[in-house]
Amino acid sequence: MDLWLEWARGPLFRIAIAFLILGLVRHVAIAVFEIAWAVRRAGDKNIPYRKLARATLAWLVPAGKLGHRPLYGLTTLAFHVSIVIVPLFLGGHIALWARATDLAWPAIPNLLADVLTVIATAAAVLLVIERIAARGPQMLSRFSDYAFPLLIAVVFGSGFLAMHPALSPVAFRPALLVHALGANLILIFIPFSKLSHVILMPLTHLISEVAWHFPPHAGSEVGLALGKENEPV
Amino acid sequence: MSPAEPKPRKYSYYVEARALEVTDRPRRFLETFAAVLEHSNYAVALDAYARVCSKCGRCADRCQLYETTGEERDVPGGRGDLLLRVYRRYFTIGGRLKARLVGGFTLTDEYLDRMAEEYYRCVACRRCKEVCPMGIDQGLITHLARWLLAEVGVTPKALVLAVREQLQGVGNTSAIPVAALKNTCEFLEEELQDIYGVTIQFPFDVEGAEHVFFPAVSDYLLEPDTLMANAAVMHVSGGSWTIGTGNYDGINYGLFYSDRMMERIVGRLVAEVRRLKARKILIGECGHATRSAWFAPTFCGPDAPEVVNFLQYTARALREGKIPLKGKVIEERVTYHDPCNIARAGRITEEPREILRAICRDFVEMTPNRTHNLCCGGGSGLVSVDEIRPFRTRKMGKMKADQIRATGARIVAAPCANCKKQLREVCEDNGLADVQVVGVHDLLLRAIDFGVEPKAEEKVESSSQAMA
Ligand code: SF4
Ligand code: SF4
């Protein structure tokens, strides 16, 4: 068990982080390159950057964007806030980083981490329930749309139990092992799945605008490529 | 779909007979897709969309079609995925690899038929984009999917016929010859003289004018009041404008089914402005005509003429005190419909309100409005497809009807040829027959103070019928 645990916290963690970082860097590099290329060849280079930045920011700080289903909106918000803060700012996690990279930064108090962890776990489960209950999301959902939040719930739940052995029905080591394995799995999945929105989302509003800025003669070029340039309507 | 239909249709809408003879469609579709990805900028969007859609379903809460039908196929994110699935499978490395290893999705004729149905159920109003955390533009996906479908023959016949008339026939979508156009304008001049006692001319082919006027050409058949008001505004404000006999149609159905056509039609606007050595494209009260004209710099480069919508011109003239008014002469309750194509991105929302507030005693807003407004239900050219009227008015237009009813307004001002036709039908089919749908300028015309005694005020409201 100890060996497994060491493996999960050491080599596996490093591999997962490498996957995550390389994957995300690749996404950003491709997206930025594509945007630049699209703008360069666009006939109309007039792009409302400010407006787009505002729209993007409004979603990054989405208070007031709870929408039609306030409960769903609130759950999503609580979920995102807690799953971003705890992994990055829990004391134990920072220690892990420090061990691997010598980098460290201030931690949040453990009590706050506990509260956020409980929120994250509950919100992840709630998200699954709401996904099943609301017709729109339910009809769109694939297996992974249920699996990811559940996996996240397991990771946060086991993390909580590992932090509080006194409250835990399972022993410390198995809890921590489940936690570490699950977390690594998520890290690896991020660049390969819809979770890549963690890095692409700030660019998507800009992308939606840029895509409407066609190169001049985009239409006739396509006609030419298809041999339809002289075809009557 | 109604029992009275003359012959069975393959899709909910008619397509041309030749469209049904196209063979090998999946291959052609993919060939087109590849060419489009190469020459356009859509790839950047598809690449991102195919990755980030979180299937959160928020878009479903915002689609007026899905809200009315509740049908699975009407969930926006799901419809978008129809095209994204093709993109993923054939145009991403992962998709190609997966197909080689484990097989899976293949593009078939049946799948194309399904896309042909679904992408003509979305009106590309882009309302769902506003609530999508990822900013995914389903309107863009619909726009692109329709183009790809058009290249394998699938486009509602009504749209193709109009574009054919415009590009290869008489030169405009309503097939109005120049002689008839001039006749109509003479008639309108007489009406202005008879009703308002003013001599106002519709100028033709004036070289060096500031604006060349392109209304939806159907206005010359259907909207005499809008046109008379346009001329009146130019008259009182001392505006410099002309109608070009080389091209007098702002309609651009290319926006609804093919960038190839859109480019050609936009090019014709620009060419006419250049022929007349004029400076600006002045679009009449029409949403899609305005949005497609805004593509002028896209297709014709940075020195394409500036595009002005008539509402912008008039609001500015009003602000500058160039339009003398008799006051708030419109007594009935008036509400305003924001056409998606000018309002969704927030480009034209306040100008019409400035005009209406200046002349209406009882102006009320619909809720929601401006960038959030509901589509009339006939957007993206569906309004021209007569055979789907029940779908347009009872499904797509139902929430619009409820929205209008809730305002209690007698008059809906809608500055768009397409919205007007659709809203009239929506009102007829949803028990709102007493609601009048008019242009913003129509109302303004009643309020302009020409400084002369009108000869026959009582005829003001009957000019439409006279013309019909
Ligand atoms: S709102 Fe956007 S991210 Fe959510 S399901 Fe719809 S398209 Fe996808
Ligand atoms: S663009 Fe409009 S009609 Fe189309 S899916 Fe979105 S909300 Fe519905």
Instruction: Identify the bridge partners of residue B436 per DSSP, sorted by sequence position.
Output: B411
**In a domain? residue B2:** no
- B47 and B143 both lie in a single domain: yes
Q: Chain A contact for B59, CB < 8 A?
A: yes
On whether the CB atoms of residues B278 and B210 are closer than 8 A, the answer is yes
Range A2-34+66-212 classified under CATH 3.40.228.10: no
Let me know if residue B6 belongs to a domain.
Answer: no
- Tell me the per-residue pLDDT of B187-234, one tens digit each, with 9 for 90 and over: 999 999 999 999 999 999 999 999 999 999 999 999 999 999 999 999
Q: Dump pLDDT digits (tens) for A108-137.
A: 999 999 999 999 999 999 999 999 999 989
Closest by CA to B291, choosing from B343, B243, B247, is B343
d(CA B289, CA B26): 32
| CA–centroid distance, residue A212 to ligand 1 (Å) | 19
Sequence-distant (6+) residues with CB within 8 A of B209 are: B203, B240, B241, B242, B276, B278
Using the structure block, give the residue that is written with the tokens 């006419």.
Answer: B272
Q: Is residue B287 part of a domain?
A: yes
Give ligand 2 pocket residues (Cβ under 6 A).
Answer: B 62-63, 65, 76, 122-128, 138-139, 142
Do B310 and B417 fall into the same domain?
no
Same domain for B334 and B387: yes
**Nearest-10 Cα torsion for B245, B251, B252, B253:** -130
Residues 35-54 of chain A with CB under 8 A from chain B are 35, 37-38, 41-46, 51
User: pTM of this prediction?
Assistant: 0.95
Instruction: For residue B1, tell me if it sits in a domain.
Output: no
Type and span of the H or E element at A185? helix A172-189
Amino acid at B207: E
The residues facing B325 across adjacent strands are B448
Asked, for residue B9, whether it belongs to a domain, the answer is no
pLDDT digits (tens, 9 = 90+) for B39-91: 999 999 999 999 999 999 999 989 999 999 999 999 999 999 999 999 999 99
**pLDDT tens column, B410-447:** 999 999 999 999 999 999 999 999 999 999 999 999 99
Question: Is residue A100 pLDDT above 90, yes or no?
Answer: no
B87 shares a domain with B52? yes
The whole domain housing B337 covers 324-450
Domain ranges of chain A: 2-34+66-212
Do B305 and B191 share a domain, yes or no? yes
Edge-first strand listing for the sheet containing B211-214:
B241-242, B211-214, B280-283, B306-309
- Domain termination residue (choose one: B267, B301, B318): B318
Residue B456: band (very low, low, confident or very high) from pLDDT cuts 50, 70, 90 = low
Same domain? For B209 and B335 the reply is no
Domain CATH for B258 = 3.40.50
Please, are residues A217 and A49 in contact by the beta-carbon 8 Å criterion? no
Tell me how far the alpha carbon of residue B245 is from its chain's centroid: 23
pLDDT grade, residue A70 (50/70/90)?
A: confident
On whether residue B87 sits in a domain, the answer given is yes
Question: pLDDT value at position B466?
Answer: 46
Strand partners for B214: B283
- B355 with B251, same domain: the answer is no
The answer to which of A72-81, B240-249, B456-465 has the lowest mean pLDDT is B456-465
Report which bound ligand comes closest to the CA of A65: 1
**Residue B93 sits in the same domain as residue B183:** no
Task: Say if residue B282 is in the same domain as residue B330.
Answer: no
Calculate mean pLDDT across residues B19-45: 97
Question: What is the structure's pLDDT at B280?
Answer: 98
Q: How large is the average pLDDT for residues B123-137?
A: 95
> DSSP for A5-46?
HHHHHTHHHHHHHHHHHHHHHHHHHHHHHHHHHHHHH-S---
Please identify among residues 132-161 of chain A the ones whose CB lies closer than 8 Å to any CB of chain B: 134-142, 145
Residue among B299, B110, B16, B185 at smallest CA distance from A43: B299
Ligand 2, atom 8: nearest CA belongs to which residue?
B63
Assigned domain for B32 exists: yes
Q: For residue B228, tell me if it sits in a domain.
A: yes
Measure the CA–CA gap between B384 and B378, rounded to whole angstroms: 8
- Give me A99's structure tokens: 């061990």
Q: Which two tokens stand for residue A176?
A: 């921590």
* pLDDT band per the 50, 70, 90 thresholds, residue B1: very low
Tell whether B268 and B347 lie within a shared domain.
no
Closest among B130, B127, B132 to B55, alpha carbons compared:
B132
- Looking at the fold, whether B301 and B373 belong to one and the same domain comes out as no
* Number of domains comprising chain B: 3
pLDDT exceeding 70 applies to what percent of chain B?
A: 95
